[in-house]
């Protein structure tokens, strides 16, 4: 079968691309991966204006280290659920190439003969838009770092003009302390009802982030 791995953007149905909307509306089956009921309901809320076919929910472990056997079991089970379909759409929030479950699961599914990735709006570009800020100009360099990789962050500070720290549940406050010489914006759930933007960290969850832009007067 062929699987379309479709990015559905940061959480606003109006930010779903035209191509994604077309695939969702024409699909006989749409797979929604989730780690909790809350995440599942968010993804379904985003795609609900477009989906006409069957929705298959698949629960995935989102921890970094997962046993191969556990993932293979989930992949085989999903293939069984999709056995009556020649094509399926597999949705992911944001973009399928950035911190998504696409490669973790689809590449293990024995029933998948072909996959096609459909890009979506990423959460950090959405939040930069909300903050009316540029991520890069001219020859600026941008780093994207998970919040728990402070070993990488410490090396990026002073080298990259912009640093985006994602996966906020892993420790934004500790990361904030390393960003000397940067103007920092805290952003959470941009383009969702719970959207928060500001200078202070309000909550550290998976959908929260820091966007740091080097100050013009910073010593480098």
If residue 183 lies in a helix (H) or strand (E), which one and from where to where?
strand 182-188
Fold for 123-214, please state it: 3.30.950
Residue from 31, 178, 44, 43 nearest 112 by CA:
31
Q: Which residues pair with 59 in a beta bridge?
A: 34
CB 118 within 8 A of CB 19: yes
Pick from 186, 62, 56: nearest CA to 131: 186
Distance CA 126, CA 124 (A): 5
The residue extents of the domains of the chain are: 2-118, 123-214
pLDDT for the residue 101: 83
Phi-psi map region of 132: left, alpha, beta (phi>0 left; psi -120 to 50 alpha): left
Catalogue the long-range contacts made by 141-147 (C-beta closer than 8 Å, 24 or more residues apart). 144/98, 145/175, 146/99, 146/170, 147/171, 147/172, 147/174, 147/175, 147/204
Strand partners, 142: 162
Token pair 């892993």: residue: 170
Say how many C-beta atoms besides its own lie within 10 A of residue 130's C-beta. Answer: 16
User: What pLDDT, on the 0 to 100 scale, is given for residue 37?
Assistant: 55
pLDDT of residue 16: 98
Q: Using alpha carbons, list the distances in angstroms from residue 33 to 5, 22, 28, 56, 157.
A: 11, 20, 17, 8, 34
Distance CA 84, CA 75 (A): 16
Residues of the chain with pLDDT under 50: none
Burial of 85 (0-12, 13-18, 19+ CB in 10 A): middle
CATH of domain 2-118: 3.40.1010.10
Which pLDDT value is given to residue 47? Answer: 97
Encode pLDDT of 55-100 as tens digits: 999 988 766 667 888 899 999 999 999 999 999 999 999 999 999 8
- Tell if the pTM clears 0.95, that is, is over it: no
Closest C-alpha to 2, from 93, 103, 73, 106: 106
């Amino acid at each position: 079968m062929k699987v379309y791995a479709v990015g559905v953007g940061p959480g606003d149905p109006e930010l779903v691309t035209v191509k994604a909307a077309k695939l969702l509306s024409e699909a006989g089956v749409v797979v929604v991966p989730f780690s909790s009921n809350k995440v599942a309901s968010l993804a379904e809320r985003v795609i609900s204006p477009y989906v006409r076919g069957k929705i298959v929910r698949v629960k995935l472990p989102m921890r970094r280290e997962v046993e191969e056997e556990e993932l293979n079991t989930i992949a085989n089970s999903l293939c069984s659920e999709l056995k009556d379909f020649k094509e399926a759409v597999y949705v992911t929030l944001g973009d399928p190439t950035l911190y998504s479950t696409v490669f973790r699961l689809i590449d293990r599914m024995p029933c998948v003969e072909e996959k096609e990735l459909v890009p979506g709006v990423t959460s950090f570009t959405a939040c930069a838009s909300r903050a009316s800020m540029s991520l890069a100009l001219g020859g600026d360099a941008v780093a994207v770092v998970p919040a728990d990789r402070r070993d990488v962050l410490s090396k990026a500070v002073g080298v990259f003009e912009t640093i985006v720290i994602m996966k906020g549940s892993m420790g934004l406050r500790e990361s904030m302390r390393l960003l000397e010489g940067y103007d920092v914006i805290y952003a959470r759930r941009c383009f969702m009802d719970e959207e928060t933007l500001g200078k202070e960290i309000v909550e550290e969850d998976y959908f929260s982030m820091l966007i740091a832009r080097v100050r013009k007067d910073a010593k480098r």
